[in-house]
Amino acid sequence: MIKISVAKGDGIGPEIMDAVLSVFEAAQVPLAYEFVSMGKGVYDLGYTTGMTDEAKQSIESTGILFKGPMETPKGGGVKSINVTARKTWNTHSNIRKFQTIKGVDTVFSKAGIPINLTIVRENIEDTYGGIEHYMTKDVAVSRRIISRPGSEQVIRSAFETALKEGYRTVTCGHKANIMKLTDGMFLDTFYEIAKEYPQLHAEDIIVDALCMKLVCAPQKFECIVLTNLQGDIVSDLCAGLVGGLGFAPSANIGDHIKIFEAVHGTAPDIAGKNLANPTSLLMSGVLMLNQLGLEQYGSAIQNALMAAIENGTHTGDFGENRTTSVGTKEYTQAIINALQLDNITASHVDNYQKPISPSTNKMMVSSNEIIETVGIDIFVESEQQANDIATIVLRHLDNDMDLTTITNRGTQVWPEGSVFTDLVDTYVVRIEKNTTEIVKKKKFMEQAVHLYDFLNISSIEMLITIDGKRKYSLAQGQKANA
Ligand code: NAI
């Protein structure tokens, strides 16, 4: 038996989890369950993380969390348990599989176009770091963190998923034409990792074109890897292609801990009424069985689910109007009735490796490269015109530094610009060294501190080169050699 941690969740969570576990029981899946407390009840007891210490210990020991949807109380400074769980345990890859299901009508199923694609979405970084600040009364900023090691983890997951699923192509969706450094790094990393998988075809596509192609010809895609926010949007788009969120399983895969969950919420409007559709959670359970090396059980359950739906069995939220819908319990029973267990030969329980607890947090770093600070971006709160700011800066500039540009919302407004560019109260003043000599980082900081006496500085950002290559963006309108 493989031991896993199970949290039933809130709202319809307990009903759909009981339904899924009864299918597992009927299929004689060799799993043992450690039930843990997470969600609303736990928040109510005063745990701001939404999980008890025992739950945390259990999950860190089994390495697997199978969870129902959970309610995050609004306000009160508590964090979403779903996001907290994914981040705390570094489940770097969110894997969602989308397949045509016979009996679930969509424009594509009606047109006879089969869909079988998997989205692998980065799960930790991007704007989901939630690092946001008001810089002035009018300007809020969000830090979008994309790291090379983080990108490597999710991209490797995508190639591994493609191999497991028997796909031939992995596609990287991105916006590197605009976000040249963040998405650019993700895209570069994609082609680096692709070299390790010569048996798979690697290609990339700009994310807006990807969305258009997905709704025109979804059958052309197999495995798509994306950064977090773009992946979030594209995966819901794909859920729509196969009939909605109710048919999209989700796995959050980390090196040590894996979380399997339904993608929908707690559906409080139908909780406790025997109306909930357990399909999404059951399909996530199948993904879990596959990950645990119990593919034979996974296939048997998947086939039974497909057979039940194909026979016209459906809950009230989907299916043909001309056939009567059934309740959660009856739907579950129809799946159990369709189970065929003859093909299950042996269980591969021994293949599953429980996580080995690391003694310290893993530091993920790339190889050493030469980093040089070459300038500083100074964020200035001001309602003056750019020329007035430039005059102040030029009066107080060190000899080995130049004022190269002043921008407003990323558009250059000094030394050249257009009077048609509307301004907000945050300028970025870019100061760069004008010498081939090394200028210490501290000197740029001192320059900013000096300017602080004359300008209302709200933030700074260092400008660096790595192995001589510029690693900061140019403003719109700024010349590359400036
Ligand atoms: P929801 O997904 O719970 O409900 C949206 C609509 O879909 C409702 O009409 C609901 O009845 C229906 N629905 C959802 N799942 C269904 C199912 N399995 N069978 C039949 N109908 C279903 O989204 P909503 O209302 O925005 O969120 C409700 C709560 O769920 C919130 O507290 C939210 O924080 C939480 N939530 C939790 C998630 C998780 O644990 N992963 C994900 C999304 C929301």
At 208-224, the pLDDT tens digits run 999 999 999 999 999 99
290 and 402 share a domain? no
**Strand 426-433 versus strand 401-408 pairing type:** antiparallel
% of the chain exceeding 70 in pLDDT: 97
Q: Which atom of ligand 1 is nearest to 316's Cα?
A: 20
Residue ending a domain, choose from 367, 382, 412: 367
For residue 110, tell me if it sits in a domain.
Answer: yes
Does one domain contain both 29 and 152?
Answer: no
Q: Is there a single domain that holds both residue 421 and residue 436?
A: yes
Q: Measured from the CA of 70, which atom of ligand 1 is nearest?
A: 40
pLDDT over threshold 80, residue 236: yes
Q: Would you say residue 319 has pLDDT above 50?
A: yes
Q: Are residues 71 and 105 in the same domain?
A: no
Q: Atom 32 in ligand 1: which residue has the minimum CA distance?
A: 71
DSSP result, 252-265: EE-SS-EEEEESS-
316 in a structural domain: yes
Determine the residue of 17, 67, 232, 266 to mutate for testing ligand 1's pocket, defined as the one with the most ligand atoms within 8 A of the Cβ atom.
Answer: 266
pLDDT for the residue 104: 85
Higher-confidence position of 358 and 170: 170
Residue nearest to atom 6 of ligand 1 (CA): 267
DSSP code of 333? Answer: H
Same domain, 145 and 229: yes
CATH for 78: 3.40.718.10
Cβ neighbors of 329 (< 8 A, separation 6 or more) are: 19, 274
At 347, the pLDDT band (50, 70, 90 cuts) reads low
Mutate to test the pocket of ligand 1, among 82, 264, 281 (most ligand atoms within 8 A of CB): 264
312, part of any domain:
yes
pLDDT digits over 263-283, tens only?
A: 899 999 999 999 999 999 999
132 and 188 inside one domain: yes
Same domain (yes/no): 204, 170 = yes
Domain end (from 348, 367, 386): 367
Ligand 1 geometric centre to CA of 65 (Å): 19
Identify the weakest region by mean pLDDT among 43-52, 169-178, 188-197, 459-468: 43-52
The structure tokens listed for 221 are 């895609």
Residue 259, domain member (yes or no): no
Residue 245 belongs to domain spanning: 92-253
- Residue range 422-433: mean pLDDT, rounded: 98
Q: Whose CA is nearest to atom 11 of ligand 1?
A: 267
Helix, strand or coil, per DSSP, at residue 64: strand
pLDDT exceeds 80 at position 378: yes
Q: Mean pLDDT, to the nearest integer, of 17-41?
A: 96
Least confident span in 21-25, 30-34, 102-106, 227-231: 102-106
Residue 195 forms part of a structural domain = yes
Same structural domain for residues 381 and 460? yes
Same domain, 73 and 125: no
Q: How far is the CA of 228 from the centre of ligand 1 (A)?
A: 21
Q: Check if the beta carbon of residue 465 is closer than 8 Å to that of residue 374.
A: yes
Q: How confident is the model at residue 348 (pLDDT cuts 50, 70, 90)?
A: low
Percent of the chain with pLDDT over 90: 78
Q: Specify whether 131 is located in the same domain as 78.
A: no
Query: Are the C-beta atoms of residues 302 and 289 closer than 8 Å to each other?
Result: no
CATH number of the structural domain spanning residue 461? 3.30.70.1570
Average pLDDT of every residue of the chain: 93
pLDDT, position 353: 76
CA angle 235, 238, 244 (to 5 degrees): 105
* Per-residue pLDDT, 243: 86
Mean pLDDT, rounded, for 54-67: 95
Does the Cβ of 276 fall within 6 Å of ligand 1?
yes
**Among the three residues 367, 396, 415, which one is the final residue of a domain in this structure?**
367
Ligand 1 binding pocket includes 71 (Cβ within 6 Å): yes
**Maximum Cα–Cα distance across the chain:** 84
Higher pLDDT among residues 396 and 323, named by residue: 396
So what's the pLDDT on residue 346? 63
The answer to whether residues 5 and 89 touch, using CB atoms and an 8 Å cutoff, is no
For the ranges 232-241, 313-322, 454-463, the lowest mean pLDDT is seen at 313-322
**pLDDT band at residue 481, thresholds of 50, 70 and 90?**
low
Mean pLDDT of 387-401: 97
317 in contact with ligand 1, CB cutoff 6 A? yes
Indicate whether 324 and 393 sit together in one domain: no
pLDDT surpasses 50 at 113: yes
Q: Quote the pLDDT of residue 482.
A: 43
8 occurs within a structural domain: yes
Residue 358 has pLDDT above 80, yes or no: yes
CB burial of residue 293 (10 Å; 0-12, 13-18, 19+): middle
Residue 23 forms part of a structural domain? yes
Task: Name the H helices within 173-225.
Answer: 182-194, 207-216
Number of domains into which the chain is organized = 3
Does 415 sit behind a cis peptide bond, omega within 30 degrees of 0 on the bond before it? yes
In a domain, 260, yes or no: no
Indicate whether 52 and 135 sit together in one domain. Answer: no
What integer pLDDT is reported at residue 31 of this predicted model?
96
Whether 70 shows a pLDDT value over 90: the answer reads yes
Confidence (pLDDT) at 69:
94
